[in-house]
Chains A and B, each alone.
Chain A
Amino acid sequence: MSISFFLECMGKWWGQLSYTVWMYFALLLPLTALIYQLVEKEKRKFVLLISSWIFFFTLSKFLLIANIVSSIFVWKLGLIIDGINSDKSLKRKERKRKKQRFLILGILALVLVLLSFKYLDFLGESMAVLLQTFGIAFGWTEIGIIAPVGISYYTLESIAYLSDIYWEKTRADGKLINIALFMSFFPKLIEGPITRYDSSLGLFTVRDIRYENLAQGYQRILWGLFKKLVVADQLAPGVEAVYGGNYMDGGVALFAALIFTIQEYMDFSGAIDIAIGSAKIFGIKLLENFTQPFFAKNAGDFWHRWHITLGAFFRDYVFYPVSLSRKVSKISKNAAKIIGNAASRFVTPAIALFAVWSLSGLWHGPRWTYVFYGLYYFVLILIENILEKPFLTLLEKLRLSEASIPVRIFRGIKLLFIVIIGEMFFRAETLIDGFDMFTKIFTDLRFDMLFKHLENINIDRWGYVTIILGTLLVAAVDVLKEAGFPIRRNIERLPKPLRFAFWYVCIFVVIIFGAYGTGYDSVDLIYAQF
């Protein structure tokens, strides 16, 4: 076998590596676990790091260097800031000023790298449009830079790490390997969950591969594969067809947004299940990213349950610092003089929320639809904050409790509508398309064409049955989890033959009903692009 043939084969085999490809969960993962277990304890972290780099390399080739350089930079800067923290020869103010300089330098450098990889074309094009509206001739030719895998995620993780050292919440890690692993650990590399340094100490603790962890890890991976392959990927061609189709009335627009919402939830939470399950095999506990988001009582609560780690990052590193900043307090005080105390108490949260949601929208990528998506939630959550008190007063007058069924139904329907409309804009090709779809829901809502369309959107009858049953199953599991029913413990209590039979059925459901292989197009993880 010639070297070039070997390389070509490797390229083909690994070229499409992702969490849902068997190469990942049936080869890379068990092989890593096996070697991890076999080598001496002090070498185990290197096994994880090498696997992570191999994984990175298969997806982004030599852009791996960008990740390694960032790791060295963050490691060194962390040590410098920590060094200033411990430098008692400096006065408090001096210390603060000095370490602030380094923190700002770090954040700027990391953000600049992120911007140049992901946002350069967007900024250039937007600048061109802006200047052209003012009559200034400025053109922008698309550069089309490919970003390293996971850059949006590990940039946030690095910012959080440096900020935590700055606030003296944590000490800098002297071991470069720890920081390199923290920024490239393969299970969380593509889509998170966004990990905090202090919550990922398990990553640096070496332990044996345990039977329980292995079993529970693979069970979680199987659940993730079910969500992704059986539901999300069966739906993907339908979503593609309705969004790209040349016919759109209100019914089709609503249907498109609904099926994309289901696809995104299954795709993203499925990938997170695989990430958490993979880490669990090594005894590492990653943060949960979804806790039954559709049971949230309002849009604010939804974001405490959906992409939790992103929300938590923006809460801790944007919302609180902005809310507590002197400038914002000053604005709030000035506002109180003009609009009165009652109204002014919303000024600080409004400014902080605006910062959070515009950054959160932009974080998803260089598109105006994402910016709008962020601001959409900014407005809704602000309105919710303002209306919360009057709403509770109204409930009191109506003698209804928050937990009563009519209130829960009302909140459930309201939330579903908010989420689906949000996803409609999020998935739309352009903002104009999004508004077009939104308007049609109110001006052209009919369903006759939708039923005609259902036959021609690349999902066959078996596909519909699979998607509906799969979605109902996930919904049922979410209901049980929300009710606190210990599903896993009950499965574990089953007699061994029954327990084994249960897992065999689950595995074969994924093998048989999964959308993979010939006749299906493989679907990239949605959140991998962000």
Chain B
Amino acid sequence: MTDTGIVRKNHLKEVLGFFAVFLLLLIISSYFTNPSGDAVYDIIHTEMKLNDIEAEKDHSIDVLFAGDSLVFRGISPLQIWEKSGITSYDLSDGAMRLCDQVSLIKESCESQSPKLIVLETHVMVGEASPYKDEFALPTNLIEEIFPIFHYHSFYKRWKLFQPEDQMIRIRKGFDPGFEAEPYTGDLNYMEAEEEPDMIPPLNRRYLSEIIDFTREKGIKLLLLSMPSPLNYDKGIHDAVDAWAKEKGIEFVDLNLLNDKLQIDWTTDTKDGGDHMNFEGSRKVSLFLAEYLEDNYGLEDHRGDKNYANWDDCHEKAGLY
């Protein structure tokens, strides 16, 4: 063999050796970064939400509102507090998936003992998988084989001198939008006859997990559809309704209750019928406060010195 041949062979060995060790390191790091509990889609926001809820006084929250951006834009826990004295928290973030909700609900119930969990139904019909969408196959596959690529921001679960007075925490997870962009579409969007949408099998699996968990813990579960013409139609309503009936779970669709809510689609939506703005959230929250009082017999904590912090937050939030 020539010198060049030997050099080449050595180099090939070096390259292969380098990649073999790299592969091993990927496997090891994936093992350690893969969450021991439930697989989540958005680790950063899930962990941030968990940090937020853990900053709350233990076992002080009676209602958890779970879901995606429709929740944190449209439900104001401090408005509910003002009206009814019920303590609640928005356990939601943008584009969250059902897998994130399962993990969030389970982990937040380690420090909280909610009497009721309200699950906003938009997450039921959307993508539920911890990985990306079905078309992103190679990325999906690589993230599944080496979860380090999916959970690479695992370190964000370690708190880093997190400030206690972040506005999102003061407002109990509520993040209002103050702009108003009117919805100009069909106001009878819930009336058109449509085939019921399907709740995908993976979503059903996650939903069953939530049901099992709440039953095991003795927590009541309520399904709620927020008013949103861009996200809801009769097809989705029928699918959720059928599933709720099958499982014996209560379901409230606010899209069908506008005679009570009085949402004005020219002034109460932030972005043309997608999310509520602050005015819309006020109407929804006042309705929910009354609904929770009437149907769940939750305790009014106003005046209780153990909950004085809620009055402070109410004042600091600068909204009411």
Chain A interface residues (CB < 8 Å from chain B): 8-9, 12-13, 22-23, 27, 211, 214, 455-456, 460-462, 465, 496, 500, 503-504, 507-508, 511-514, 516-520
The reply on B27 being an interface residue by CB < 8 A is no
Q: Is the Cβ of A500 less than 8 Å from the Cβ of B45? A: no
Overall SS of chain B's interface: helix
A-B contact list, 21 entries, CB within 8 Å: A9-B135, A9-B137, A13-B136, A211-B14, A211-B15, A455-B166, A455-B167, A461-B160, A461-B162, A465-B160, A500-B21, A504-B22, A511-B152, A512-B154, A512-B155, A513-B152, A517-B143, A518-B42, A519-B44, A519-B45, A520-B44
- A-chain residues with CB within 8 Å of residue B155 when the two chains form the complex: 462, 512
Interface string of B83-101 (1 = CB under 8 A from A): 0000000000000000000
B152's contact among A27, A496, A512, by CB below 8 Å, is which?
A512
Q: Is the Cβ of A456 less than 8 Å from the Cβ of B167? A: yes
Q: Is the Cβ of A514 less than 8 Å from the Cβ of B152? A: yes
Q: Is the Cβ of B43 less than 8 Å from the Cβ of A518? A: yes
Q: Which interface residue of B41, B148, B152, B161 has the most chain A CB atoms within 10 A?
A: B152
Q: Is the Cβ of B156 less than 8 Å from the Cβ of A517? A: no
Q: Is the Cβ of B161 less than 8 Å from the Cβ of A460? A: no
Q: A501 vs B149: C-alpha distance in the bound complex, in angstroms?
A: 20
Chain B interface residues (CB < 8 Å from chain A): 7-8, 11, 14-15, 18, 21-22, 25, 29, 41-45, 48, 132, 135-139, 142-143, 148-150, 152-156, 160-163, 166-167
Q: A9 vs B189: C-alpha distance in the bound complex, in angstroms?
A: 33
- A-chain residues with CB within 8 Å of residue B29 when the two chains form the complex: 508, 511
The 6 closest A-B pairs by CB, nearest first: A519-B44, A211-B11, A12-B135, A461-B160, A519-B42, A512-B152
Q: Is the Cβ of B149 less than 8 Å from the Cβ of A508? A: no
Q: Is the Cβ of A518 less than 8 Å from the Cβ of B156? A: no
Q: Is the Cβ of A511 less than 8 Å from the Cβ of B149? A: yes
Q: A96 vs B11: C-alpha distance in the bound complex, in angstroms?
A: 54
Q: A339 vs B166: C-alpha distance in the bound complex, in angstroms?
A: 63
Could you tell me the distance in whole angstroms from the C-beta of A470 to the nearest C-beta in chain B? 14
Please, which residue of chain B has its CB at the minimum distance from the CB of A463? B156
Please, which residue of chain B has its CB at the minimum distance from the CB of A10? B135
- B-chain residues with CB within 8 Å of residue A465 when the two chains form the complex: 160
Could you tell me the distance in whole angstroms from the C-beta of A301 to the nearest C-beta in chain B? 39
Q: Is the Cβ of B148 less than 8 Å from the Cβ of A511? A: yes
Q: Which interface residue of B45, B154, B160, B163 has the most chain A CB atoms within 10 A?
A: B160
Could you tell me the distance in whole angstroms from the C-beta of A79 to the nearest C-beta in chain B? 40
Q: Which interface residue of B14, B135, B143, B150 has the most chain A CB atoms within 10 A?
A: B135
Could you tell me the distance in whole angstroms from the C-beta of A292 to the nearest C-beta in chain B? 30
Q: Is the Cβ of A455 less than 8 Å from the Cβ of B138? A: no
Please, which residue of chain B has its CB at the minimum distance from the CB of A452? B167
- A-chain residues with CB within 8 Å of residue B135 when the two chains form the complex: 8-9, 12-13
A504's contact among B8, B25, B148, B161, by CB below 8 Å, is which?
B25
Please, which residue of chain A has its CB at the minimum distance from the CB of B45? A519
Q: Is the Cβ of B136 less than 8 Å from the Cβ of A518? A: no
Q: A9 vs B149: C-alpha distance in the bound complex, in angstroms?
A: 21
Q: Which interface residue of B18, B29, B148, B162 has the most chain A CB atoms within 10 A?
A: B18
Could you tell me the distance in whole angstroms from the C-beta of A40 to the nearest C-beta in chain B? 19
Q: A462 vs B41: C-alpha distance in the bound complex, in angstroms?
A: 19
- A-chain residues with CB within 8 Å of residue B48 when the two chains form the complex: 460
Overall SS of chain A's interface: helix
Q: A461 vs B167: C-alpha distance in the bound complex, in angstroms?
A: 15
Having A511-B148, A512-B154, one finds 18 other A-B pairs with CB under 8 Å, namely A12-B135, A12-B136, A13-B139, A22-B142, A23-B138, A211-B7, A211-B11, A455-B163, A461-B160, A462-B155, A504-B25, A508-B25, A511-B152, A513-B152, A514-B152, A517-B143, A517-B152, A518-B44
- A-chain residues with CB within 8 Å of residue B136 when the two chains form the complex: 12-13
Please, which residue of chain B has its CB at the minimum distance from the CB of A466? B155
Please, which residue of chain A has its CB at the minimum distance from the CB of B93? A519
- B-chain residues with CB within 8 Å of residue A520 when the two chains form the complex: 44
Q: A517 vs B150: C-alpha distance in the bound complex, in angstroms?
A: 7
Q: A271 vs B225: C-alpha distance in the bound complex, in angstroms?
A: 45
Please, which residue of chain A has its CB at the minimum distance from the CB of B43? A519
Could you tell me the distance in whole angstroms from the C-beta of A12 to the nearest C-beta in chain B? 4
Could you tell me the distance in whole angstroms from the C-beta of B3 to the nearest C-beta in chain A? 14
- B-chain residues with CB within 8 Å of residue A516 when the two chains form the complex: 152
- B-chain residues with CB within 8 Å of residue A513 when the two chains form the complex: 152
Could you tell me the distance in whole angstroms from the C-beta of A438 to the nearest C-beta in chain B? 28
- B-chain residues with CB within 8 Å of residue A23 when the two chains form the complex: 138
- A-chain residues with CB within 8 Å of residue B43 when the two chains form the complex: 518-519
Could you tell me the distance in whole angstroms from the C-beta of A488 to the nearest C-beta in chain B? 17
- A-chain residues with CB within 8 Å of residue B45 when the two chains form the complex: 519
* A13 and B137 contact, Cβ closer than 8 Å, known pairs A511-B152, A519-B42, A519-B43: yes
Q: Which interface residue of A13, A211, A518, A520 has the most chain B CB atoms within 10 A?
A: A518
Could you tell me the distance in whole angstroms from the C-beta of A442 to the nearest C-beta in chain B? 30
Could you tell me the distance in whole angstroms from the C-beta of A491 to the nearest C-beta in chain B? 14
- A-chain residues with CB within 8 Å of residue B148 when the two chains form the complex: 511-512
* A460 and B149 contact, Cβ closer than 8 Å, known pairs A8-B135, A500-B21, A519-B42: no
Could you tell me the distance in whole angstroms from the C-beta of B150 to the nearest C-beta in chain A? 6
Q: A501 vs B43: C-alpha distance in the bound complex, in angstroms?
A: 28
Q: A493 vs B110: C-alpha distance in the bound complex, in angstroms?
A: 52
- A-chain residues with CB within 8 Å of residue B161 when the two chains form the complex: 461
Q: A513 vs B166: C-alpha distance in the bound complex, in angstroms?
A: 24
Please, which residue of chain B has its CB at the minimum distance from the CB of A519? B44
Q: Is the Cβ of A518 less than 8 Å from the Cβ of B137? A: no
B138's contact among A13, A460, A519, by CB below 8 Å, is which?
A13
- B-chain residues with CB within 8 Å of residue A214 when the two chains form the complex: 15
Please, which residue of chain B has its CB at the minimum distance from the CB of A496? B14
Could you tell me the distance in whole angstroms from the C-beta of A426 to the nearest C-beta in chain B? 28
Q: Is the Cβ of B25 less than 8 Å from the Cβ of A462? A: no
Could you tell me the distance in whole angstroms from the C-beta of B96 to the nearest C-beta in chain A? 11
Could you tell me the distance in whole angstroms from the C-beta of B175 to the nearest C-beta in chain A? 10
Q: A513 vs B33: C-alpha distance in the bound complex, in angstroms?
A: 13
Could you tell me the distance in whole angstroms from the C-beta of B200 to the nearest C-beta in chain A? 18
Could you tell me the distance in whole angstroms from the C-beta of A228 to the nearest C-beta in chain B? 15
Could you tell me the distance in whole angstroms from the C-beta of B10 to the nearest C-beta in chain A? 9
Could you tell me the distance in whole angstroms from the C-beta of A524 to the nearest C-beta in chain B? 18
Please, which residue of chain B has its CB at the minimum distance from the CB of A518? B42
A507's contact among B8, B15, B22, B139, by CB below 8 Å, is which?
B22
Could you tell me the distance in whole angstroms from the C-beta of A60 to the nearest C-beta in chain B? 21
Please, which residue of chain B has its CB at the minimum distance from the CB of A5? B135
- A-chain residues with CB within 8 Å of residue B8 when the two chains form the complex: 211
Q: A516 vs B151: C-alpha distance in the bound complex, in angstroms?
A: 11
Q: A504 vs B28: C-alpha distance in the bound complex, in angstroms?
A: 13
Q: A211 vs B16: C-alpha distance in the bound complex, in angstroms?
A: 12
Q: A6 vs B149: C-alpha distance in the bound complex, in angstroms?
A: 25
Please, which residue of chain A has its CB at the minimum distance from the CB of B162? A461
* A462 and B156 contact, Cβ closer than 8 Å, known pairs A211-B15, A456-B167, A519-B42: yes
Could you tell me the distance in whole angstroms from the C-beta of A512 to the nearest C-beta in chain B? 5
Please, which residue of chain A has its CB at the minimum distance from the CB of B133? A12
Q: Is the Cβ of A504 less than 8 Å from the Cβ of B42? A: no
Q: A504 vs B21: C-alpha distance in the bound complex, in angstroms?
A: 9
- A-chain residues with CB within 8 Å of residue B22 when the two chains form the complex: 504, 507
- A-chain residues with CB within 8 Å of residue B152 when the two chains form the complex: 511-514, 516-517
Q: A120 vs B11: C-alpha distance in the bound complex, in angstroms?
A: 53
